[in-house]
Structure 1
Amino acid sequence: MSSRGVMVTGTNGADFEHREKIAFQYQLSALNKSRLKYCVFFHHVLFFVMLAKLSADILDRLDIFILEIEELQIPQPLWWEYTWCLSLLLSFLGLAAIKRNNIKQLRRYMYGIVALGFGPLLYCILYYCGDVWRYLSRDEDEDDSSEVEIELWQGYPYGLLWYAFVLLASQVHFFQLYSSYNLLKAWRARGALRKAD
């Protein structure tokens, strides 16, 4: 509804400079909470990509045979793939930490991302570095006998496919740690202001 009659001075919105402003640490906290939620979402997307890769092995362990999946001839998984999947459980710890502004839980989340997120990815880089190096440094004029040394899946170099996954996952984990660190700074600043009062 619109008001009729004389408008009271100061209510036309021109007094915004005199209104209270949100403290910087609260703005920083809200911004980084939102960023961390996006990072957790992308972590879940990458988890489902990994789960699709692990589906053949999981179905074999459950003694379930699906011809379409078996025809893909997906290579057997290594231990680091399952270990990296455990990092998804940390997302629930991180979400609980930002819901309650809990510094201890957020620190545990950060340590877990380093151990269960970056640790397996580093192992993957080291494990496939030989294959990737041989693929990138091979000469096009050589005969095809050198390709026997390079593991291929569906015609693509398997190590290079994992490097693409590692690139995406490491970016997600890096931004998770960055947002978490900024949240810790904001929450500590808030705590310091409370002690000063």
Structure 2
Amino acid sequence: MATRGVPSDWSSSGMDGLDHGYRQRIAAHYQASATAKSRLKYCMFLHYMMALLMLAKLVPFILDKFNFFILAIEELEVPEPLGWEWVWLFGIFSSFFCLNGIKKNNYTSIKNYICSIIIFGYLPLIYGAVYWFPEAYMFIFHKGDGFRDGWYDIQLWKGYPYGLLWFAFIIPGFQLHSFTMYFSIALLRAWKPRSLRNKDD
């Protein structure tokens, strides 16, 4: 029997159409969430790899502080670390926010992860880029004007400009954090309450 006051064709096909559209929207948000989670995990893996590189650079200083002497490491003559290197390395612990957010679909954890990436990711790299930019600039654009004669006071490591070597780390670091931010925000948008999504639309 048709519902009173509602056309029979609307109550069947119309409601089915609305329900189908709703299911499609839900499926799209689930797919967006799954994709963002997968790519965030990949970004975290790359973050761990870069953190291992940074830790390897800091190992000589750490061993020296604990009075451990390993000749092969001492012979590398790795320059002492700057403060921003430690800050960036400690930023790896922010991944616990991300892991918790992905595992529990926790909106707040992902927001905390974004904030920690800004503080412990972007800011130290910006400081490092500003600190080493003058030396990298001088080596690239003015090395023929007197660099080889010792006119410019540029720090070298194993014959290579130390500042320029740091940019081989800083630039990929910026790219990694940017991808991480993008996928984190995509995840937040997929998890946003439906009422708020409708307002945005």
1:144 Cα deviation after fit? 2.5
Cα distance in 2 between the residues matched to 1:40 and 1:50: 15
1:133 Cα deviation after fit? 1.2
Higher mean C-alpha displacement, 138-147 vs 66-75: 138-147
1:163 Cα deviation after fit? 0.7
Aligned partner of 2:103 among 84, 93, 99: 99
Runs of 4 or more above 4 Å deviation: 193-196
Q: Give the letter aligned to residue 146 of structure 1.
A: G
Aligned partner of 1:67 among 68, 71, 76: 71
Local SS of the residue matching 1:88: helix
Structure 1 unaligned segments of length 5 or more: list them.
1-17
Q: 1:30 to 1:142 in 2, by over 3 A?
A: same
RMSD: 2.1
Q: How many residues align?
A: 176
Q: Give the letter aligned to residue 67 of structure 2.
A: D
Q: 1:127 to 1:72 in 2, by over 3 A?
A: same
Q: 1:84 to 1:139 in 2, by over 3 A?
A: closer
Structure 2 unaligned segments of length 5 or more: list them.
1-19
Cα distance in 1 between the residues matched to 2:127 and 2:151: 24
TM-score for both structures, normalised by structure 1: 0.84
Aligned partner of 1:118 among 122, 147, 152: 122
Cα distance in 1 between the residues matched to 2:197 and 2:73: 60
- When you count helix as a share of all residues, which structure comes out higher? 2
Q: 1:195 to 1:42 in 2, by over 3 A?
A: closer
Aligned partner of 1:53 among 39, 51, 57: 57
Local SS of the residue matching 2:110: helix
Q: Give the letter aligned to residue 58 of structure 1.
A: I
Q: Give the letter aligned to residue 95 of structure 1.
A: L
Partner residue in 2 for 1:160? 164
The CA deviation string for residues 83-105 of structure 1, in whole angstroms up to 9 with x for no partner, is 00111000111111111111111
Local SS of the residue matching 2:79: coil
Cα distance in 2 between the residues matched to 1:180 and 1:33: 8
Q: Give the letter aligned to residue 176 of structure 1.
A: T
Q: Which protein has greater RCO, CA pairs closer than 8 Å, 6+ apart?
A: 1
Local SS of the residue matching 2:144: coil
Q: 1:74 to 1:171 in 2, by over 3 A?
A: same
Q: 1:134 to 1:141 in 2, by over 3 A?
A: closer
1:87 equivalent to 2:91? Answer: yes
Cα distance in 2 between the residues matched to 1:68 and 1:170: 32
Q: 1:80 to 1:143 in 2, by over 3 A?
A: closer
Partner residue in 2 for 1:144? 148
The CA deviation string for residues 165-191 of structure 1, in whole angstroms up to 9 with x for no partner, is 001111111111000000000000xx2
Aligned partner of 2:180 among 163, 176, 189: 176
Cα distance in 1 between the residues matched to 2:197 and 2:185: 21
1:23 Cα deviation after fit? 1.1
Cα distance in 2 between the residues matched to 1:130 and 1:155: 18
